[in-house]
């Protein structure tokens, strides 16, 4: 075993939570070691958020050009487009490489020691790292620390009767296709399945989505989902709701499904299983610490502390919501506490975005959630069909909705569905975090013509002062 490394902070996992914690710790002068067995950036940068958005952009551009091959109301005519898939994937990979290289440079700039290898926890102050060096095993590196931060992320959930392999793929394989299948069956109508399903359909693949529940995007309320459901139908995506997956057909060329008492086989060259993700809490000795757990998730308090003194946990490892920006905020929170600052992780709202077409964005409470919490609330929606900028972008399907207390008009939540509304997330989160009231947003001058005017108009409508609807 190599000579031990001694450090103040040891971070296991170089995803958004881990690397942000390391950068912030470096800024604060905390000696920090970051251990990562794969590429820096974790799932988000390498096989999740960033590559999926890159392929979404490719699919949108290709689909738009296809629309110009016929009769376009914009007066644009173009020849039928062709797709060079290898070049598209290479472009996506180039973005990933640029971002992950940038993360490495930032860690170096802030004097964070990066150890490439797989961590094995010995105890709450000691970790052994099996190095990764061109496929050759080397002597384990022991690292001792005062603070141990667990940021190991999450992994796709597999179906026990249909494990990953062959025609059964996870989002990882779906984001780096060598060639497109003629048909794709997607198990799960959550955001991962639908985002990728729309990509593949826009690129010309026959897509079927199978969901056990009675509607798509079951974590969102019905009104938000309606425009997405209509768009999927318009694209020709087959939706099989309240349908159970039984497994691959005997010849491996289809997926056996059951709706009620009726069993059927859906043709599918590939099957994408997108039924969710689970905390990555196994395989690195976590159980030896005997931490308090919530199933596979590590239980933490409002300072991201585990049940063992000096051991912290952030991000997907701590359960829902599994969002990169949540992990980043938690990473900053932990680093600042280790530096002696007083910090707690108690956000007023964590925005969430579903990058379907149209997009869905939420922050804070929905009307239903406010009612369930016993809050007397008012809500109001403004349709994008009444927004001039949305008309010029051919994106009038959708709306912006605000939820506020009836007594003092304190804003409790925002929801929106429409093309490009993901960019509303910052305004939504900021208004809730700053304790804004309907009057604050409604009386703030919003630039015209922008889709953001719908935010102001929703607030005004809740006040009974809507101007354009």
Alpha-carbon span 396 to 131, nearest angstrom:
53
Q: Please list the alpha-helical segments (H only) found in 69-176.
A: 85-109, 171-174
Q: Indicate if 448 belongs to the active site.
A: yes
Token duo for residue 224: 């938000």
Concatenate the DSSP letters of all residues of 375-422 into one string: --EEEEEEEGGG-HHHHHTT--S-EEEEEEETTT-BEEEEEEEETTGG
Name the active-site residue from 240, 446, 448, 468. 448
Q: Which residue has the tokens 């472009």?
A: 91
Judged by phi (left if over 0) then psi (alpha if -120 to 50, else beta), residue 379 lies in: beta
Dihedrals phi, psi of 355, to nearest 5 degrees? -90, 50
Alpha-carbon span 395 to 402, nearest angstrom:
20
Asked if residues 13 and 121 have their Cβ atoms less than 8 Å apart, the reply is no
Alpha-carbon span 35 to 57, nearest angstrom:
32
Dihedral sign from CA coordinates of 54, 59, 60, 64: positive
E strand or H helix at 79, and its extent?
none
Alpha-carbon span 206 to 267, nearest angstrom:
9
Token duo for residue 155: 């992994």
Report the DSSP pairing between strands 377-383 and 311-313. Answer: unpaired
Alpha-carbon span 42 to 251, nearest angstrom:
36
Token duo for residue 354: 């579903």
The CA distances from residue 69 to 65, 91, 154, 198, 394, in Å, are 7, 24, 42, 20, 17
Alpha-carbon span 328 to 103, nearest angstrom:
13
Asked if residues 341 and 329 have their Cβ atoms less than 8 Å apart, the reply is no
Asked if residues 191 and 355 have their Cβ atoms less than 8 Å apart, the reply is yes
E strand or H helix at 15, and its extent?
none
Alpha-carbon span 366 to 377, nearest angstrom:
10
Catalytic (active-site) positions: 448
């Amino acid at each position: 075993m190599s000579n031990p490394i001694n450090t103040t902070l040891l971070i296991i996992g170089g995803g958004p939570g881990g690397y942000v914690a390391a950068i912030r710790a470096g800024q604060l002068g905390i000696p920090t070691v970051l251990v990562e067995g794969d590429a820096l950036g974790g799932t988000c940068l390498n096989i999740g958020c960033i590559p999926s958005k890159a392929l979404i952009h490719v699919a949108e551009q290709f689909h738009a050009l296809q629309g110009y091959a016929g009769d376009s109301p914009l007066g644009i005519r173009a020849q039928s487009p062709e797709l060079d898939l290898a070049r598209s994937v290479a472009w996506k990979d180039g973005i990933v490489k640029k971002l992950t290289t940038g993360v490495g440079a930032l860690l170096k700039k802030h004097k964070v020691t990066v150890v490439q290898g797989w961590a094995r926890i010995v105890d709450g102050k000691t970790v052994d790292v099996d190095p990764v060096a061109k496929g050759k095993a080397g002597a384990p590196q022991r690292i001792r620390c005062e603070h141990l931060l667990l940021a190991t992320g999450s992994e796709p959930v597999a179906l026990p009767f249909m494990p990953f392999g062959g025609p059964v793929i996870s989002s990882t394989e779906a984001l780096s296709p060598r060639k497109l299948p003629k048909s794709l069956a997607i198990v799960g109508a959550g955001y991962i399945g639908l985002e990728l399903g729309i990509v593949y359909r826009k690129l010309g693949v026959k897509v079927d989505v199978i969901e056990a529940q009675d509607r798509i995007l079951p974590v969102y309320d019905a009104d938000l989902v309606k425009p997405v459901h209509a768009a999927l139908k318009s694209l020709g995506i087959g939706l099989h709701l309240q349908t159970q997956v039984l497994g691959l057909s005997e010849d491996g060329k289809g997926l056996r499904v059951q709706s009620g008492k009726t069993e059927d086989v859906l043709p599918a060259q590939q099957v994408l299983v997108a039924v969710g993700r689970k905390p990555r809490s196994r395989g690195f000795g976590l159980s030896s610490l005997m931490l308090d757990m919530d199933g596979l998730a590590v239980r933490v308090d409002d300072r991201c502390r585990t049940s063992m003194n000096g051991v912290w946990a952030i991000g997907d490892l701590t359960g829902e919501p599994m969002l990169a920006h949540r992990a980043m905020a938690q990473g900053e929170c932990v680093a600042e506490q280790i530096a002696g600052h007083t910090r707690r992780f108690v956000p007023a709202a964590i925005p969430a975005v579903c990058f379907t077409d149209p997009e869905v964005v939420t922050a804070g409470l929905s009307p239903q959630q406010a009612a369930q919490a016993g809050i007397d609330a008012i809500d109001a929606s403004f349709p994008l069909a009444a927004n001039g900028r949305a008309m010029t972008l051919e994106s009038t399907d959708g709306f912006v909705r605000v939820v506020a207390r009836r007594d003092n008009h304190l804003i409790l939540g925002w929801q929106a569905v429409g093309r490009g509304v993901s960019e509303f997330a910052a305004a939504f989160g900021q208004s809730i975090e700053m304790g804004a009231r309907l009057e604050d947003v409604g009386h703030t001058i919003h630039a015209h013509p922008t889709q953001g005017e719908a935010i102001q108009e929703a607030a005004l409508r809740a006040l009974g002062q809507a101007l354009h609807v």
